[in-house]
Structure 1
Amino acid sequence: MPATASSTLDLPRYLARIGYAGPLTPTGDVLAALQAAHVAAIPFEALDPLTGKAVDLAPAAIDAKLIEARRGGYCFEQNSLFLRVLRALGFEAEGRIARVRWTLPDDAPPTPRTHQLTRVILAGRAWLVDVGFGSAVPAAPLAIDRAGAQPTAHEPCRLVRVGDAWRVEAEIAGEWRPLYDVEDGEPPAIDYEVGNWYTSRHPDSHFCHQLIAARTTADARIALRDNRLTIRRTDGTVDQRYLSAEEIEAALADIFGLAVEPGWRPAIERAATVEVAV
């Protein structure tokens, strides 16, 4: 079933999952509040690709995993769920697909279409909103028609036109760094399926080789990459340490709220031995 297909969404259970009890009218304030609650409560994680398990984009499968089982997921799961939530609440919303540019040099060739996010129209104005870009996820909806920096609870972001796409950038340590290039127009469902296959199965996908988890709260970005745990707070302080296998398991449970599965143990033990470049 395509990522944008409808399903019987249990909206109250979703709202309980993200700990949101505020207004539900389709306004900008509600959109921002839902985004913030989602990324704080539902962790970004890619344990399934790392352990060889297929990522199912059927709405029922995503709901069972992210809501009922209290797991996390990556962009195709997170943002397809968020898109259905927004539509259920009356928002005018469409999916979008992007080419990731994060950590790449400026002259790097085009990347595959492997990131899903959402476009929302509010009072005739278009916004991009994302709940599935890991530790660098934009922390607020971004107005497409606004030039220059846009403040968020974390780094400022901006949109820059690059050819036929909008490049989303974040200002990190005084430097504007590209996150991804968002293509115009709502993509066909097959683009999500192909992007999901590449991200979860292709040998070049880092999700198949690295243990990755992230959460973004109101005051901190928390990222686990193999055995390196990094906490970057909005006050500018950074804590970073390397974890043993037992500590990785504890972090997945205590920090990211995941019920650690026995089948994850080989990947956790491998991650504990990795030397992660700074």
Structure 2
Amino acid sequence: MDEGSATHMNLAYDWSGDLLDLDAYLERIGYHGERAPTLDALRGLQRAHVTSIPFENLDPVLGVPVLLDLASVQGKLVRGGRGGYCFEHVTLFAAALERLGFRFTAMSGRVTLGSPKILPATHALLAVTAADDERLWLCDVGFGCGPLEPIELADGTEAEFDGWGFRLERRPGAQGFDDWWLHQRRDNGWLDRHTFTLNPQYPIDYVVGSHYVSTHPRSPFVQRPFVQQFSADRHHRLDATTWTTFRPDGSYTERKIAPDDLGRVLAEDFGITVSAEDLARLRDGLDRT
């Protein structure tokens, strides 16, 4: 293989960690721990990321293209006062892990939430190895409601973080590719959240998946605002005008917001800043739902 071909092949695996403004990212998520590829750092980075950068799909609702080049992602999620959905979160987190020296595999999952149907693989997540620990860890930073920390990627693993419970299960799959299932504990038992395989994905695969969920007319992400903000003690979810707050013990409260309150709720409770023009368009859409 000549030098040009080798360079081209390497770019397919590149998550642009060298282009990340690491100081700005770590300041954005409020992480002040060690900058080394250790398990403690991985735990701290995931907890800081998932509790600082919200989940939101406002650009697809507005018809604005979702770009996954690192400059665009960090311009929006790090500097722009915005959140994003899983492909944006994982692109940013992967760049940080690459920059810090972690080894990882990007993967795609299928969101299930109890559905018997086979849905498209449109969820992004990572399997990560730390330099001081030989185990494989699932880092799911883009779902909008945790986990707060990585979960050991092993059959039967159960993990609890500040009262939020999770369980991993491996099931035999076709052609030797086992299916992994992530379950989340709810007040009435375990709910299967998504399934995935360890088949590696690359940046271009996320571009394809992101294009589908952000543009296809049947994608729920283009139909209404869906926003989440997560912390150790509560999970806020805004689905159109329905605002639900979940607690680790399974309890929850639900309320309706008026379209005129959308800007205040996004800014004060979800940490998202949108322009006056975009806010007006979002409110108009809520009035028609």
TM-score norm. by structure 2 comes to: 0.87
Do residues 243 (structure 1) and 257 (structure 2) align?
yes
Cα-to-partner distance string for 1:22-69 (whole Å, 9 max, x where unaligned): 222322222122111111111100100001011001111101111111
1:263 is matched with: 278
Secondary structure in 1 aligned to 2:127? strand
Q: What is the 5 A alignment of 1:76-115?
A: 76-102=87-113, 104-105=114-115, 107-108=116-117, 110-115=118-123
2:136 is matched with: 126
1:144 is matched with: 153
Selected match of 2:67 from 56, 60, 68: 56
Partner Cα separation in structure 1 for residue 257 and residue 288 of structure 2: 9
Secondary structure in 1 aligned to 2:42? helix
Partner Cα separation in structure 2 for residue 24 and residue 243 of structure 1: 41
Partner Cα separation in structure 2 for residue 189 and residue 11 of structure 1: 19
Q: What is the 5 A alignment of 1:184-263?
A: 184-234=198-248, 237-261=251-275, 262-263=277-278
Partner Cα separation in structure 2 for residue 2 and residue 225 of structure 1: 36
CA contact (8 A) 2:155 2:170 kept: no
Secondary structure in 1 aligned to 2:264? helix
Instruction: Give me the identity figure in percent.
Output: 35
TM-score norm. by structure 1 comes to: 0.90
Secondary structure in 2 aligned to 1:187? coil
* Residue identity opposite 1:9 in structure 2: L
Partner Cα separation in structure 2 for residue 269 and residue 253 of structure 1: 18
How many residues get paired?
270
Selected match of 1:157 from 141, 154, 166: 166
Selected match of 1:167 from 156, 177, 181: 181
Partner Cα separation in structure 2 for residue 237 and residue 174 of structure 1: 11
Secondary structure in 2 aligned to 1:170? strand
- Deviation, structure 1 residue 272: 5.2
- Deviation, structure 1 residue 149: 2.1
Q: Choose 1 or 2 for highest CA Rg.
A: 2
CA contact (8 A) 2:242 2:257 kept: yes
2:7 is matched with: none
CA contact (8 A) 1:92 1:120 kept: yes
Q: Tell me, which stretches of 5 or more residues in structure 1 are unaligned?
A: none
* Residue identity opposite 2:170 in structure 1: R
Partner Cα separation in structure 1 for residue 103 and residue 168 of structure 2: 21
Partner Cα separation in structure 2 for residue 235 and residue 171 of structure 1: 9
- Deviation, structure 1 residue 178: 1.2
CA contact (8 A) 1:76 1:115 kept: yes
Q: Which moved more, 1:62-71 or 1:254-263?
A: 254-263
CA contact (8 A) 2:70 2:92 kept: yes
Selected match of 1:39 from 42, 47, 50: 50
- Deviation, structure 1 residue 237: 4.5
Q: Which moved more, 1:227-236 or 1:120-129?
A: 227-236
Secondary structure in 2 aligned to 1:119? strand
- Deviation, structure 1 residue 139: 2.6
| CA separation of 1:192 and 1:236: change in aligned 2, threshold 3 A | closer
- Deviation, structure 1 residue 268: 2.5
* Residue identity opposite 2:252 in structure 1: V
Q: Which moved more, 1:185-194 or 1:201-210?
A: 185-194
CA contact (8 A) 2:15 2:94 kept: no
* Residue identity opposite 1:150 in structure 2: A
